Every structure is written in C-alpha cells, then in structure tokens.
Amino acid sequence: MSGGLDTLAQPGGRGMLGRRFAFLEPSMALWLVLIAVLVFLVASPVVRILVSSFQEPETGRFTFANYAEAYGNWRQLRAVVNSIELGLGVALLAGLFGVPIAWAISRTDMPAKGFVRLMVFGAFITPPYLGAIGWILLAGPNSGWLNKLWMAATGAGHGIFNVYSMPGLIVVVAVTSFPYVFVFVNSALDLVSSEMEDAANILGAGTLRTTFRVTLPLVVPAIIGGLIISFLEAIALFGAPALIALPARFHVVSTQLWQFFEYPVRVEEAAAFSLPLLIITVLMFWLQRAIIGRRGYAAVTGKGGERRTIRLGAWRWAMLGYAFFVCALAVILPMTVLLQAAFAKAWGRGLSLDNLTLRNFTYLLFEQTQAQQAIVNTFVYSGATAFAAIGLALAIAYVVNRRLVPFSNLLAFLCMAPFVIPAIVLAIGFYAAYAPPPLALYGTAAILILAYTTRFLPIAYTASAAGLRSISAEMEEAVRILGGGRLVAIRKVLAPLLKKSLAGSWLLVFIPATRELSSAIFLVGPNTRVISVMLFDLSEEGNFEVLSALGAILLIITVTIAAIGFRVIGRDFMVRSAR
C-alpha cells in the first residue's frame, strides 16, 4: 500500500513488469500500476457487492432472491425510510448550526471567535458514538441530567427530553456533523470579497438583507456541499444509531445491515440491501451538480478583493450566544457528563468526592486484557492509513495535475469514488472480496488499513490536489532544465514546498481514522481490535463509566497529536485544506 510513492519513484517501471511493458511508454506503466492499486482498493470491493447481490449464497448462481428477501419485509423497507428521514433531519440541523457560525466567524465582529473555532474542532474530533453516549447520559428520559434538572426545577413527574427517539438521534448526529458544513461555508466565505455586499449596501440594503440576498447565495455551492456530506455521513453511520435507535425501537439501514451479519451470515442479502445507500449517494451528487451547475458562482474566484468585517453591534452578543448554544450541545455538555462518568464510581450518583475514582482508567489500562492493544492498534492503523492514503493520493494528484498520463481523469474519478460509498457498505465489500482466500485477510491489520485507506482516499486526494495546484510546474521544470531528473525535482522542490499542506492532509485523514467504526465493525479480529469497536462492544453492557474512560483516552491522544500538528502547520489546517 505504501506503493503510492514507490511506484512514483520508478517511472521507468523496472523489473519484470518493466520488461514486459518495455514497448509502452514508462508513464503508461505508472498509469497501469496506479490503476491496479485503485481497482484493488475501490473498484473490486464495489463490484463484488454488486455481483454478490445477484448471487445465490451457496451456488453463486444468478438470482433476484436477495432483493426479494431484502425488500420483502415492511420493517426492512421502513429502515430505508428512517435512514432518509435521519439524513434529511441531520443535514437540515447541521446547516442551521454550521452556516450561521461560519458566517459569524468569517464575516462579523462576533467576539470569542477563537473559542468557538476550538469548540467546532472539538465537535469534529468527537466520534458520533461517543457523543451519543454523552447524550444518553444527558437526555435519558428518566435518568438524564437535563431531565433530572428539569424535574427538580419544575417538580414535573418526568423529563422533557427523550434521546431514544428519531429527533434525539437527529440532534446527536447533527452536533457531530455540523463541522463539515462549517468548514465548507467558512472557507468559501473567506474567499468572497466585500465588493458585492458594498454594492448592495449602497443600493440601500441592510446587513440582514445583504447577507441573505447576496453573501449567502454566493456560497450556496459550499452550503449544499456541506449539507450533502452531513446527509451522507448520517445515513451511513452505524454506532450512534445502534446506541439510540434500538432502544427507541426503530431501525435504520446500517443497523439493519448489521442484522444480515447475524447467523446465518447473509452477505448477499446485505449487498442487495446496501444498494439504496449507494443510489441515494449518487443521486445526491447528481442533484448537487444540477443545482449548482446551471448558475455561475464566479465571485468566488479565490482572488483578493477587500473583505470587511460586518459590525453587528449589540447583535454580536446574540450571535455569540447562538454559537455558544451550538457548542454546548456539541461539545461542552456531552464532554462534561462523559468526563464525570469517566471519573465516577457510578455516574448516576453525580458529582461528589466519594464518587470520584481513577478505577475506570486503571481497569482499562491494567486489568482489561484488550484495551492496551486496542489503543495501540487504533493509532498505528490510523497513522499507517494516513501515510498510505496521502502517499497514493499525492502520486495520483501529481500525475493528474501534471498530465503525465492519458486518461488521468479516470484515476481522479476512482480516487473520489469511495466518497459515494457508505463506510458500512465499503466494509461489506472488503469483507466479501478480501476476507476469504486467496487473500485471506480476515483478522489481519492489513484489511483494516486497506479499508480505511479506501475510505479516506477522497479526503487525501482533495487535500493533495489542492496543495499541488498551488505550486506551479515551472520550478520543477527549472530543475529539469538544469539536468535534474523528475525525482530530484520532486524531492528537492516539491516535497519541501508541500510539507505543511501534507501535514495538514495527514491530520485530516488521521483524525477521522482514529474514530472510524462503521468500516471497522465487520473487519476486526480479536487481535486487531480498535478503540471504536471496543467501545461498541462495551456499550452492550451499558457500562458507561468504563466506556467514558476509554473515550477520554481516545480523545486525549487524538488532541495531543492534533496539537503537535497545529504547531507544525499553523492553527487552521481544517479550514484551509479541507474541501
């Protein structure tokens, strides 16, 4: 998998492959190698899903029976509807959370911007299932902190929030996915110059009118992009729905897919059932193009222009209040209760000295036979994934950007394709394609790292391509004119220039990899367990104290690594290098 850079390092295609293709251009060999890697990582698992959805489990003969089975049951159909409802709800709410905050930070004089930014980053690194546990502790209908507060304050017999419901699930997922909207919209707004706003102002429009009629319409593509990502993340999510939807008595597609893996394992039916997710995703992107494609958004040119801060007056405190409200829902409240639980003997007993203990941590680190290994695995796999994905993406972005090979767009397309494959579907594809012999990767670290690499390839590619675009080919050409080879040019010119942006891209892959559950759940073995899967297993028992402690360990290590990253590359890597 580290093949990305290695293959790039051998454009001549030495060795057997090289001799066999000696009649081809060297760049052709490189193209073939890259295509082969991408076919292995992306195309083959997906094709495998499509094919097996039409196969009889035992004989492999063609059949429609899997579809009949998968959709011949009202409960399973209902799961599809529920998923769509969840996705729409999350996208809408994430937009309501993300857009105003992005606007306030980018364009206004709202105070405490640094703090809000930090909180948004906090929401970005919080795994949705951990947020879900926090919200179970906050809004369990009878036992949640918020409900207890409400009952104590009003004397009511029961609470007012019920996390075990569709609205509950929507809120829980939305507060962890609004950072996508924020990042998209914020970076787009940063590029819109004030000229058009000025024009509107001159023509008599107030701040509000200008914002809604001029500023926001200019960043519609970014808003739609963010909403679509939120929608897609929500419908593909497994952990949070498993924690919340089951007690709430409904299924979504991902929890239903999990059921197909019960005995007897029905991969074929699961494949058939996962098709709507794929179709919905493709439709979404088609929709995005249809909406955006017809209009011009040339104002976002990326070129200069003056940007003025909008003065909100007293309203800036209202804006801060709203931002604080969102941050409280996303980070402050759930993190407070999770920390309380992590250090509590019994979380239900509340904050008191005799309820404080380090026992949950010592249990995990010294008595639990799996936790240590899972912690190491998580960060090793995530690190390896980040290197592999960035290496491959960079090689491809380079080839595409410098137009070294024909049909380079096909490479770019394959790189971006995993974007439209929900993680849980991808995992099923990997399981079907690579778990059994001949590759027999089940239970190995390799299958996890490969699946993660595929999963995060689009992020890596987008970030790498953006980095490369900013560097003109002229400097490399200078090296080559002076007699240096392409490798020298890459090593001496490109690599140093790209260092910072690569570190940013690395973090953008690394952080989501540390929290990845949906694609890990079907691929882990007992010795390749990662924190997310362990959290999921522990959550069955409802042992929230130990769960929270493990979640805290995950977040502390992630934040430490991210903080080192910030030092290396400057503060807002998230905003600058994200799509």
Partner 1 sequence: MIGHFASRRDILKGGAGIAALGIGALAPRSASAAEMTAREKELYAAAKQEGSLTWYTAHYDDQTAQSLGRMFEQLYPGIKVSVVRTTAQVAFQRVSQEIKAGAMQVDLLSTTDIGHYVYLKDKALLEKYVPDNAGRVLEIYKNYDPDGFYFVTSAGMVAMGYNTTKLAATDAPKNWTDLIDARWKDKVSLGHPGFSGYVGTWVVTMRKLYGWQFFDKLAANNPQIGRSIVDTVTMLNAGERVVSAGPVAATMESAQRGNPLAMIYPTDGAVLIVAPSGIMKGVKHPNAARLFMEYLMSAEASKIQVDRFGETMRPEVSPAPGVVAAKDVKTIRPTVDEIFKGIPEVIKQWRDTFGV
Binding site for partner 1 (CB under 8 A): 75, 140-143, 164, 245-247, 249-251, 259, 261-265, 267, 345-348, 359, 363, 366-370, 373, 431, 435-437, 440, 442-443, 522, 525-527, 529, 537-544, 546
Measured in degrees and rounded to the nearest 5, phi and psi for residue 344 equal -105, 150
Please, what is the minimum distance in Å from the beta carbon of residue 1 to partner 1?
Answer: 20
What does the alpha-carbon distance between residue 374 and residue 448 come to, in Å, rounded to a whole number?
A: 13
What does the alpha-carbon distance between residue 312 and residue 110 come to, in Å, rounded to a whole number?
A: 7
User: Quick one: 447 or 575, whose CB is closer to partner 1?
Assistant: 447
* Tokens representing residue 120 in the block: 């948004």
Residue 358, CA distances (Å) to 140, 354, 364 in order: 25, 12, 10
User: Quick one: 459 or 533, whose CB is closer to partner 1?
Assistant: 533
What does the alpha-carbon distance between residue 349 and residue 70 come to, in Å, rounded to a whole number?
A: 45
What does the alpha-carbon distance between residue 223 and residue 185 come to, in Å, rounded to a whole number?
A: 6
Measured in degrees and rounded to the nearest 5, phi and psi for residue 108 equal -115, 175
Is residue 274 a contact partner of residue 257, using CB atoms and an 8 Å limit?
yes
**Length of the chain, in residues:** 579
Please, what is the minimum distance in Å from the beta carbon of residue 443 to partner 1?
Answer: 4
Other C-beta atoms closer than 10 Å to the C-beta of 90 total 28
Please, what is the minimum distance in Å from the beta carbon of residue 469 to partner 1?
Answer: 42
User: Quick one: 23 or 366, whose CB is closer to partner 1?
Assistant: 366
Other C-beta atoms closer than 10 Å to the C-beta of 417 total 17
Please, what is the minimum distance in Å from the beta carbon of residue 198 to partner 1?
Answer: 56
User: Quick one: 42 or 244, whose CB is closer to partner 1?
Assistant: 244
User: Quick one: 396 or 521, whose CB is closer to partner 1?
Assistant: 521
Please, what is the minimum distance in Å from the beta carbon of residue 243 to partner 1?
Answer: 9
Is residue 173 a contact partner of residue 97, using CB atoms and an 8 Å limit?
no
Residue type, 153: A
What does the alpha-carbon distance between residue 547 and residue 553 come to, in Å, rounded to a whole number?
A: 10
Is residue 428 a contact partner of residue 49, using CB atoms and an 8 Å limit?
yes
Is residue 143 a contact partner of residue 348, using CB atoms and an 8 Å limit?
yes
User: Quick one: 268 or 516, whose CB is closer to partner 1?
Assistant: 268
Please, what is the minimum distance in Å from the beta carbon of residue 253 to partner 1?
Answer: 14
Other C-beta atoms closer than 10 Å to the C-beta of 374 total 24
Please, what is the minimum distance in Å from the beta carbon of residue 192 to partner 1?
Answer: 47
What is the four-CA torsion angle of 522, 525, 531, 536, rounded to 10 degrees? 50
Please, what is the minimum distance in Å from the beta carbon of residue 249 to partner 1?
Answer: 5
What does the alpha-carbon distance between residue 233 and residue 179 come to, in Å, rounded to a whole number?
A: 12
User: Quick one: 201 or 355, whose CB is closer to partner 1?
Assistant: 355
Please, what is the minimum distance in Å from the beta carbon of residue 394 to partner 1?
Answer: 33
The β-bridge partners of 108 are 310
User: Quick one: 144 or 458, whose CB is closer to partner 1?
Assistant: 144
Please, what is the minimum distance in Å from the beta carbon of residue 152 to partner 1?
Answer: 13
User: Quick one: 5 or 445, whose CB is closer to partner 1?
Assistant: 445
Please, what is the minimum distance in Å from the beta carbon of residue 147 to partner 1?
Answer: 10
Q: What is the 3-state secondary structure (H, E, C) of 404-468?
A: CCCCHHHHHHHHHHHHHCCHHHHHHHHHHHHCCCCCCCCCCHHHHHHHHHHHHHHHHHHHHHHHH
Collapsing DSSP to helix, strand or coil, 79 comes out as helix
Other C-beta atoms closer than 10 Å to the C-beta of 104 total 24
User: Quick one: 79 or 101, whose CB is closer to partner 1?
Assistant: 79
* Tokens representing residue 292 in the block: 């955006």
User: Quick one: 168 or 458, whose CB is closer to partner 1?
Assistant: 168
Q: 566 burial class (0-12, 13-18, 19+ CB within 10 angstroms)?
A: middle
Q: What secondary structure letter does DSSP report for 57?
A: T
User: Quick one: 260 or 461, whose CB is closer to partner 1?
Assistant: 260
Please, what is the minimum distance in Å from the beta carbon of residue 348 to partner 1?
Answer: 5
User: Quick one: 15 or 526, whose CB is closer to partner 1?
Assistant: 526
Helices (H), 53-165: 65-71, 74-107, 113-125, 128-139, 145-154
Please, what is the minimum distance in Å from the beta carbon of residue 52 to partner 1?
Answer: 12
